[in-house]
Structure 1
Amino acid sequence: MMNAATKRFYKTVETKEDDGAYVVLLDGRALKTPGKTLLQAGSHRLAQAIADEWLAQDVKIVPDTMPITKALNTAIDRVGPNRAAVVNEIAKYAETDLLCYRAESPAELVRRQAKAWDPCLEWAAKRYGARLLVTSGVVHAEQPVEALERLCGAIGSEDIYRLVPLHTATTVTGSVVLGLAMMTGALDAEGAFKASCIDADFQAERWGRDAEAEAVRARRLADLEAAGRFLALLPT
């Protein structure tokens, strides 16, 4: 990916089938990752989405406006060579999953957490056989080894392309359960994000919203929505 100061250096953008995959051509030359590997997409829809991002660039190339390109670059250059480490990094979130740590008070916050989070934990228990323990306050909950292993196995079954949005969803929400729910379609990006913001939204209702916090929130939601779009473009 180019840096923020790079001027647009190409005129035409098109896609082309290449050995069962699809590539994006800039002035007839195949696009490569920052690591100099051919940027191959597994579906024409994904290649076209990347082409559209490059077509949309104006005088300068702005990487922050190209999340689909960035996601595929990440899968090829960063996840591919380090797959096991990425799987373990995601799986580690299960040890302190957001949904397992509940407020002791006020009662309304406790109720909202239970309403939003209990069904998600039950879903994970049924789908993966991974029942995570819930605690309140700051007390650490030592999760069952079997549950952690089952979640790690589910994460490890994903290919390098799907691991990218799963990593984003997990780190943005602070929850492997929400990340996996989004990956399987049990929740969409908006639903996963809303569930992850129960605490913050409750506090904002009581004390008002802070402009800086709202800007951070908007960026997190944008990242999650981009992950959802990338996921939808991957071949099934």
Structure 2
Amino acid sequence: MSKLLLIDDDKELVSLLAEFLSLENLDIDCAYDGESGLQMALEGNYDLILLDVMMPRMTGFEMLKLLRQKSDMPVLMLTAKGDEIDKVLGLEMGADDYLAKPFSERELLARIRAILRRTQHHKLENPSKLSHLDIELFPGQQQAICQGLTIELTGTELLLLEKFLSQPGELFSKEELSEQVLGKKLQPFDRSIDMHLSNLRRKLPERLDGQTRVKNFRGRGYMWLESSEIKKG
């Protein structure tokens, strides 16, 4: 049974969601502010955190920033409806996905299952290795090494890197990456893939040959470059 931590100061909403998710065979712990939520997150062994943005004592953003200093635990941010700034900021800070309030219970469950599916799939895999230029990736161990340094990546960033390293030089559309990495169809104006890729590029050291790692083909998608030569097509 997957174990989730739900952090939201709306006690009525928390009670309703906890009851619904428990009926879906999910083990739910609850917290009502960022401080106690952070403590529970760091002390517990959770498969996913559902984190509200606006809370007393410590906002969801403040908590996420502190959490990411010590853990890559998957986080689904619960944001205000239509607030693009909250969505972008959450992704920049390392959230795996976001869901705008108000949302349906079924939509929440679908997002939860998508994140659990892609993270738990890797936990069950036998350790294997992908190498490309100065990067070594061990998907089964959730570990990335670049130029001899261990790179701290979130689960989503690791999955995105694995996708690129498994087929360097191939062009992937944002639609493909959203469905195959995030487990959801790409929606209009959805910048999730862009933000996760931006975070990944920022965390990786510059290539030893000084070239960029990823090429953006406007309107077509992204390609992880094989060498200093940009593949045409």
Identify whether the pair has TM-score above 0.5, normalized to the shorter chain. Answer: no
With a CA cutoff of 8 Å and minimum separation of 6, indicate the structure with the bigger relative contact order: 1
What TM-score does the superposition give when structure 1 sets the normalisation length? Answer: 0.29
Query: Which of the two has greater helix per residue?
Result: 1
Query: Which of the two has greater strand per residue?
Result: 2
What TM-score does the superposition give when structure 2 sets the normalisation length? Answer: 0.29
